[in-house]
Structure 1
């Protein structure tokens, strides 16, 4: 899911990670591997294989925590890495500074400062930073325990609805945990209890009317985004509300129909190019763009490179 976070002011949870430094991408990858498992870090071509950042490990309550700061192009965990380093954790990721896009299990989620996402280490993933500064706090949660306590809805990669009061409560608890060197056992348990309450409430449908409509609208939008004729009026009809109501609900979540639709189409096109598709014109039309020159312009504006250059960088393990 792609989203914007302009609708609420994020908590100032993250203190700056100390000792930021420039290092070769291989050295940064080694640090990330020791703390988070196997990933491949890719610098932007203009960075000459240099990453400016740091990876710091902490223990909060009973959880290992990684504080990751970087300005990479992207970080990838593919199937070959998972086979060598099977995933035993869920990563509760808090976007503390900057922004990122996470692709996991056919989901595309844009994180802004203050957002949470649960990444599944057993599923291939891609974290896109586009060379911009980003800091994320990642709590490593035992996968089997979380499934037993929360249920299977927490696996496979899932976003935490930013407007939910339980999301704000999680931010408050994480803030308290970071105030001390190790955090308390009670705070760690409180965090998991809030996370469990969030998923149980969502499963029971105890969301606000606005949040429920927004979630349904985004799901419908992403399902029909490849149709170049798809517009907000069709989405409003599908959701059983007026165009004006739908616009208001998107605005309440710091989003808009046109921004969401365009971003999803572009992220989908980029993911398919990364997967090896070669016919750019056919791909662009299949992703919902009916003007090839406009697709090239929008793609370059968003990712800083042309579609052809993305296609020319196949994944390697």
Structure 2
């Protein structure tokens, strides 16, 4: 297998880290996760090693923990907006997310959604994988291909080989290389195809369970993110409850439906602005409108509040002239 390409992520000897130090390293690059060692263990053998692959963030996560978990409290504290493309290098890992249980072995690939609770099971056995951080909203708002999260693509599947090869190629490509944007888009496209859903409509819209309604509404937001019809009332109608009931469901998460729509549109806009920085000639105003915002001043205020910077700072200075 092509795993030999990732030999630099498999050193002969791993050191043991204090649990707090290892966990802090993971949170700094992947977001809030809870790391739990096996009984009697106080350290973690492995490492958390971030790097760049053609302008994409890449993180090696090697450990011998019992579990790593991301729950609703973690998501509230850290509103991550990534899909993690995991490439398993050594050992096995069990993954639970969105009601699906998956076991990955060396060479396998799987997608994990940072905005939904997840649990990684290691059972104290050594596991080593690469986590490629992909722009979640750009992926899920593409209505031409629906993506299956938490589905495994096996090592001997040709699509798995393609994904590993593209990541290996990006690792050898500087972010400033003129080929980097095309390679990134090729990886995005290949990932969509590798995890394309076979189900044309996998939603059971009506439910008496508030948590199930929240899951359905989040999927609907992702699928219709840039459409003008996307409003809290439209979502309430789709799941068959009153707007007041739906707002009550989301109060458990400490947010509102409108805030969630706005947040995801802002993250989508930020990812689009990164493409502007990479050479796309789209203007900031066009990005705002295409992301579902009708008022550029309101968009700028919301963007600054969430990201502590203006949209122009995401775009390279040499491309920022006239982008307002």
The runs of at least 4 consecutive aligned structure 1 residues that moved more than 6 Å come to none
Query: Could you tell me how far apart the structure 1 residues matched to 2:113 and 2:89 are?
Result: 19
1:14 aligns with 2:6: yes
TM-score, reference length from structure 2: 0.55
Residues 1:152 and 1:79: Cα distance change in structure 2 (over 3 Å)? farther
C-alpha deviations, 1:62-112, integer Å up to 9, x for none?
A: 311111111111101111111111231110001011111001111110000
Name the counterpart of 1:249: none
The CA distance in 1 between the partners of 2:132 and 2:188, in whole Å, is 11
- Equivalent of 1:33, from 27, 37, 42? 27
Partner of 2:219: none
Q: Could you say if the C-alpha distance between residues 10 and 132 of structure 1 is closer, same or farther in structure 2, counting changes exceeding 3 Å? A: farther
Aligned pair partner of 1:103 in 96, 99, 104: 96
Task: Give the whole-Å Cα distance in 1 for the aligned partners of 2:56 and 2:33.
Answer: 20
CA deviation map 1:192-222 (0-9, x unaligned) = 1212233458568xxxxxxxxxxxxxxxxxx
Question: Per the alignment, in what secondary structure is the counterpart of residue 115 of structure 2?
Answer: coil
Look up the match of 1:82.
75
Partners of 1:150 and 1:159 in 2: CA distance? 22
Q: Is residue 192 of structure 1 aligned with residue 188 of structure 2?
A: yes
Superposition RMSD in Å: 2.5
Give the stretch that moved more between structures: 147-156 or 117-126.
147-156
Q: 5+ residue gaps in structure 1?
A: 1-8, 205-317
Are 1:142 and 2:141 an aligned pair? Answer: no
Q: What CA distance in whole angstroms lies between the structure 2 residues aligned with 1:140 and 1:201?
A: 20
Unaligned runs of 5+ in 2: 201-324
Aligned residues: 195
SS of equivalent to 1:127: strand
2:56 is the alignment partner of 1:63: yes
1:263-302 correspondence to structure 2 within 5 Å:
none
Residues 25 and 200 from structure 1, CA distance in 2 versus in 1: closer, same or farther, beyond 3 angstroms? closer
Match of 2:292 in 1: none
SS at match of 2:124: coil
Q: Does the 8 A contact of 1:92 with 1:141 survive in 2?
A: yes
CA distance in 2, matches of 1:143, 1:201: 16
